[in-house]
Structure 1
Amino acid sequence: MKKALLAVLFAAFAAPAFAQEKTFELKISHWVPASHPLQKSLEDWAAAVEKASGGTIKSRVFPAQQLGKAFDHYDMARDGIADVTYVNPGYQPGRFPIMGAGELPFLMSDAKGGSMGLDAWYRKYAEKEMKDVKFCLAFVHTPSSLHTRTKKVVVPDDIKGMKIRPADATIANFVTQLGGTNVQSSAPEVRDIIERGVADGVFFPAGSLVLFGVDKVTKFHIDAPMYVTTFVFVINKDKYNEMSERQKKAVDDNCNTEAAGRVGEFWGKFEDAGIDKVKAQSGQDVYALTPEQVALWKKASEPLIKTWGDGVRKTGVDPDAALTELRASLAKYNALTP
């Protein structure tokens, strides 16, 4: 009898409290097409938050740069143009130097484990590096490679004299170091710059290569896990701070390492399937690298660690310790390249 009475009293007090909560409709913005797997990941994220909030936090996803350019998405969340955004930190070289560790070539072997390892490691650094937004989660796509139009690239020296669209700031440094020229563009613009001859090739995951039609303007494709690109979901701080404690918990419960793994795994499977689609096309040259060739690429990439470390040291963080921590986190989630 007492338990029943307590339950009735709790319901009587709790229901009005929930009813008085402010309702939200979050604007979630990204810059890839609605056909990209990220669209479903963001829709699933929004649905999970809505359910956990008792229906008081709803969302609408805006794909394909509807609310702003790809390069602007971090600032869009900071300034409240959107409430939740998808960001490639490497689109703004030098702004997020610590996160750049995840971009180092030949570091990660798996999209799901890489996402979880990166996310778990970066959480303490996000408070320093992305303090003007609420950090939600970090993730990566599947380890990917280089695709070119007129020249087959096998060893690092082949990059000399080429115009390459890099995946991120670290790969841009790599291209420069190897004697190439960087051509900056967002992912949706890649096909156009290659088709017009502005760029000779692109570092891109294979599934996205097909999705964006870049396979129609490239012929040579390295089939080797050379690099990943890091991404984050971030949230406008003011909007988050307006929420009740219960609503904040609904968001926080979907901004964690497990959620990062789900996003990375789903996207990773999409990209992994892309290489077979390219192989099935006539006129495409998809080729693996020999162990000796991989060793040359790894050797050539070693100076990038120092370049990354120099940038991180300026923030007051010890780059050697940070990279050791990242490697340990990736190993924990079985995603560290041997």
Structure 2
Amino acid sequence: MPGSLRMTTLATALATAICGTAAGNAAADDQTVLRLSNWLPTTHPIYSDILVPWAASVETETEGRVVIEFLPALGRPAAHFDLVRDGVADIAMSVHAYTADRFPTAYGVTLPGFADDSLTASVAYWRTFETHFAQAGEFRDVKLLGLWVHGPAYVWTKDKAIDALEDLEGLRLRATGGIVQDIAERLDIVPQFAPASETYELVARGVVDGVLFPMESVVSFRLEPILTDALTIPGGLYRDSHYVIMNSATFASLSAEDQAAIERVSGEAMARLAGKAWDNADAAARETLEAAGYTFTPATPEIMAEVRRQGDALEAEWIARVETLGIDGSAALATYAEEIEKVSGAR
């Protein structure tokens, strides 16, 4: 090859390489990476069946312009609202009851009863929030992306079936704040506050006699080998509520196109995703626990009457509390129940 041609070829190749590198860097520069602080085990359905698929849908919907990077927890579970608000993390999921005083409206959808699944209650919660609760401004400092509630929660114990109301008296059970603490205390249970991620150690060490949990969580948090019994309650003794948020400045920095794309896969879409995932996880957990020999004891009429009585009292207190925020709690719960029926009828 003549020298001049060789030099031209080399120059062309070098230019192509430089252009290719520049194009790659430009593509990388055009891509926004959002950091999600995750405090759950990667085996938990919230991580594997809700957050990971949602993150994938964000990437797909934005055509790869926005990707979500999962980081190990940047703080304790209860700190995640502040971590996102302050920009330490871009996105996080947490539980309203971990900082219950911050989210008074969520309490209403966690009261006993309402639904035997997560899907209908989760979608109904999102719709109720938009109609009644958004005005309270609980998420004014962040961008709210999603809300859902888990499936019905029960009383789980070790070598102790709950056959009567008095069997609950004095039981030390792991709990969160909010409705879980309140309904437990009204049933003479002694709630022991702890994040779900610390439950195994508490049970294994005998610090608590059992837990208040939905079906799925007994398996997800590895309690299957060390508990034995469940007291089941139609509609659940309670249902904890969860939220996913993004830093406001981070959301505002995205293009209008990407903001719209993220909102399409969030909100009610995320509630549906979460509800379906939780119902599937509850069903799988039930099979696992039945195979392990767990005893499932339906609540007696006496227990149910007391749960309803105490639930009604807590509901009345909540209605009075949110009235100070300008919210009609009775109307909100009526909407919640109506939306549950609508979603159930459309399935």
**Structure 1 residue matching 2:193: 3-state secondary structure:** coil
Contact 2:146 2:268 in 1 (8 A): yes
**Matched residue, 1:37:** 45
Change (3 A) 1:130 1:25: same
Deviation sequence 1:256-288 (CA, Å, 0-9, x none): 213311121012211222122112114x32222
Contact 2:158 2:210 in 1 (8 A): yes
What amino acid is the match of 1:25? V
**Structure 2 residue matching 1:302: 3-state secondary structure:** helix
In the alignment, which of 73, 76, 95 is matched to residue 69 of structure 1?
76
In the alignment, which of 90, 95, 103 is matched to residue 88 of structure 1?
95
**Matched residue, 1:304:** 314
| Whole-Å separation in 2 of the counterparts to 1:276 and 1:214 | 15
TM-score, length of structure 2 as denominator length: 0.84
| Sequence identity percentage | 26
| Whole-Å separation in 1 of the counterparts to 2:170 and 2:215 | 24
Deviation sequence 1:74-117 (CA, Å, 0-9, x none): 11221112111111001112210101111101122221111111
**Matched residue, 2:85:** 78
1:214 is displaced (CA, Å) by 1.6
Bigger CA drift: 252-261 or 18-27?
A: 18-27
1:315 is displaced (CA, Å) by 2.1
Contact 1:155 1:297 in 2 (8 A): no
In the alignment, which of 82, 105, 110 is matched to residue 103 of structure 1?
110
| Whole-Å separation in 1 of the counterparts to 2:265 and 2:219 | 30
**Matched residue, 2:304:** 294
Point out where structure 1 has 5 or more consecutive residues left out of the alignment: 1-17
Report whether the alignment pairs 1:320 with 2:330. yes
What amino acid is the match of 1:333? V
Change (3 A) 1:86 1:155: farther
**Matched residue, 1:267:** 278
| Whole-Å separation in 2 of the counterparts to 1:29 and 1:119 | 23
Report whether the alignment pairs 1:203 with 2:208. no
| Whole-Å separation in 2 of the counterparts to 1:159 and 1:304 | 19
TM-score, length of structure 1 as denominator length: 0.86
1:167 is displaced (CA, Å) by 4.5
1:316 is displaced (CA, Å) by 2.5
Contact 2:173 2:190 in 1 (8 A): yes
**Structure 1 residue matching 2:116: 3-state secondary structure:** coil
Change (3 A) 1:22 1:243: farther
**Structure 2 residue matching 1:94: 3-state secondary structure:** helix
| Whole-Å separation in 1 of the counterparts to 2:110 and 2:191 | 16
Change (3 A) 1:237 1:193: same
**Structure 2 residue matching 1:228: 3-state secondary structure:** coil
Change (3 A) 1:32 1:154: farther
| Whole-Å separation in 2 of the counterparts to 1:203 and 1:320 | 27
| Whole-Å separation in 1 of the counterparts to 2:272 and 2:163 | 32
**Matched residue, 2:342:** 332
Superposition CA RMSD, Å: 2.2
Change (3 A) 1:85 1:236: same
**Matched residue, 2:255:** 244
Report whether the alignment pairs 1:116 with 2:129. no
Report whether the alignment pairs 1:182 with 2:191. yes
Contact 1:103 1:230 in 2 (8 A): yes
**Structure 1 residue matching 2:68: 3-state secondary structure:** strand
Point out where structure 2 has 5 or more consecutive residues left out of the alignment: 1-25
Which structure has the larger Rg over C-alpha atoms? 2
What amino acid is the match of 2:79? D
| Whole-Å separation in 2 of the counterparts to 1:168 and 1:105 | 15
1:168 is displaced (CA, Å) by 4.5
Deviation sequence 1:288-335 (CA, Å, 0-9, x none): 234554344223322111232233223222222222222222222128
**Structure 2 residue matching 1:214: 3-state secondary structure:** coil
Bigger CA drift: 230-239 or 67-76?
A: 67-76
1:159 is displaced (CA, Å) by 2.2
In the alignment, which of 59, 64, 74 is matched to residue 55 of structure 1?
64
**Structure 2 residue matching 1:33: 3-state secondary structure:** coil
Change (3 A) 1:83 1:334: same
In the alignment, which of 124, 146, 167 is matched to residue 137 of structure 1?
146
Contact 1:111 1:140 in 2 (8 A): yes
What amino acid is the match of 2:42? A
What amino acid is the match of 2:337? R
